[in-house]
């Protein structure tokens, strides 16, 4: 049997998927995931085939094979189903409803790895500069890494000690607390960012990634300080849709923080498997142990279901109101 033919990045259906995702203002991470699954599905049916002629049974067979033959996790299988539902509904305008009639992979029951407060302090103590501030936000505010790196200066409210998380998982906004101990480091980071931004403006750069229409509707907003990322990449990049030079700064790449954390964990002597998400698990668990209501933690974490929060053992009530961050106790 001949191997599946490759699907080029420039395939018209992949390009159409990207355009539709961007029109819906979904995250770059969602774009990468959905385009990857659409590409894999097109390879499965043959790149030259018309997906509209493919029956739902074949789509469900593809999803079943992911779990039974390829042994992917239930989470990955559900992600593929969501991507193909989006593809058929939004790109092909073929509303078959969500694909559900496939044999689901058995979900693994794994408890999250949680650090003790001493272990958190040990790992954070081995981080420095920007990376220490990012790690402190992951633990002190319960942010996902993508949310921390996606923070813009206009999302930080130092006076009320709150952080606005824009378009988090599920494209939802929420507020969480800003730990007292991070107020001064955040103010210093904003001051450094303002200085860098002024230098970029003098060079004719200074654009921040924005939805395409924003550059036409409110052209100044894209170069405002409020629109700039708190943790930008070190180099200027070409920003899609930005006028003029189109140069600006995208967020710091996640791999930079992941590498820094890996080195910090080794130096700290902590023997657990620690990822950036471990800080979020620890945030929730420590709040729960301190007696905070699970629904409060659910709000802070941005979970759609309380069930998810209880698996994490994470909770936060009125976002940032009357709640002491665990970071402020170490």
Q: Is 253 a catalytic residue?
A: no
The answer to whether residue 280 is catalytic is: yes
CB 82 within 8 Å of CB 35: no
Among 155, 175, 280, 314, which one carries the catalytic annotation? 280
Q: Which of 20, 144, 174, 249 is catalytic?
A: 144
- Whether 312 sits among the annotated catalytic residues: the reply is yes
Catalytic residue among 169, 181, 192, 216: 169
Enumerate residues 6+ apart whose C-beta is below 8 A from 53: none
Q: Which helix (H) or strand (E) holds 140?
A: helix 129-141
Counts for the chain of helices (H) and strands (E), in that order = 13, 5
Q: Give dist(CA 125, CA 127) in Å, integer.
A: 6
- Taking a C-beta distance cutoff of 8 angstroms, is the pair 261, 274 a contact? yes
Answer yes or no: 144 catalytic.
yes
Three-state SS for 37-92 is HHHHHHHHHCCCCCHHHCCHHHHHHHHHHHHHCCCCCHHHHHHHHHHHHHHHHHHC
**Which among 223, 249, 303, 314 is annotated as catalytic?**
303
- Name the catalytic one among 166, 181, 221, 277: 277
Q: Do residues 264 and 123 make contact, with C-beta atoms less than 8 angstroms apart?
A: yes
- Catalytic residue from among 131, 139, 215, 312: 312
Alpha carbons 230 and 149: distance in angstroms, whole number: 7
Catalytic residue annotation: 144, 169, 277, 280, 303, 312
């Amino acid at each position: 049997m001949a191997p599946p033919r490759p699907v080029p990045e420039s395939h018209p259906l992949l390009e159409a998927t990207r355009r539709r995702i961007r029109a819906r203002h979904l995250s770059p991470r969602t774009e990468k995931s959905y385009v990857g699954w659409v590409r894999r599905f097109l390879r499965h049916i043959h790149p030259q085939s018309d997906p509209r002629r493919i029956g739902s049974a074949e789509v469900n067979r593809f999803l079943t094979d992911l779990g039974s033959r390829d042994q992917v996790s239930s989470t990955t299988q559900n992600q593929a189903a969501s991507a193909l539902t989006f593809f058929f509904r939004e790109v092909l305008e073929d509303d078959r409803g969500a694909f559900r009639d496939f044999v689901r992979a058995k979900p693994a029951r794994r408890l999250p790895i949680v650090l003790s407060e001493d272990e958190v302090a040990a790992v954070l103590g081995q981080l420095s500069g920007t990376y220490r501030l990012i790690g402190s936000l992951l633990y002190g505010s319960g942010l996902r890494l993508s949310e921390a790196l996606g923070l813009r200066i206009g999302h930080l409210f130092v006076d009320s000690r709150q952080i606005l998380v824009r378009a988090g998982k599920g494209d939802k906004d929420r507020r969480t607390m800003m730990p007292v101990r991070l107020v001064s480091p955040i103010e210093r980071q904003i001051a450094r960012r303002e200085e860098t931004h002024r230098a970029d403006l003098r060079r004719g750069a200074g654009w921040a990634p924005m939805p395409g229409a924003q550059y036409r509707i409110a052209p100044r907003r894209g170069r405002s300080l409020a629109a700039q990322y708190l943790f930008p990449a070190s180099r200027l990049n070409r920003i899609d849709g930005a006028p003029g030079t189109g140069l600006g700064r995208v967020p710091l790449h996640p791999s930079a923080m992941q590498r820094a954390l890996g080195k910090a964990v080794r130096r700290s002597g902590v023997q657990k498997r620690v990822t950036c998400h471990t800080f979020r698990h620890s945030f929730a668990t420590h709040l729960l142990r301190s007696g905070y209501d699970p629904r409060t933690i659910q709000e802070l974490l941005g979970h759609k279901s309380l069930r998810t929060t209880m698996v994490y053992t994470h909770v936060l009530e009125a976002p940032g109101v009357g709640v002491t961050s665990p970071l402020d106790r170490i």
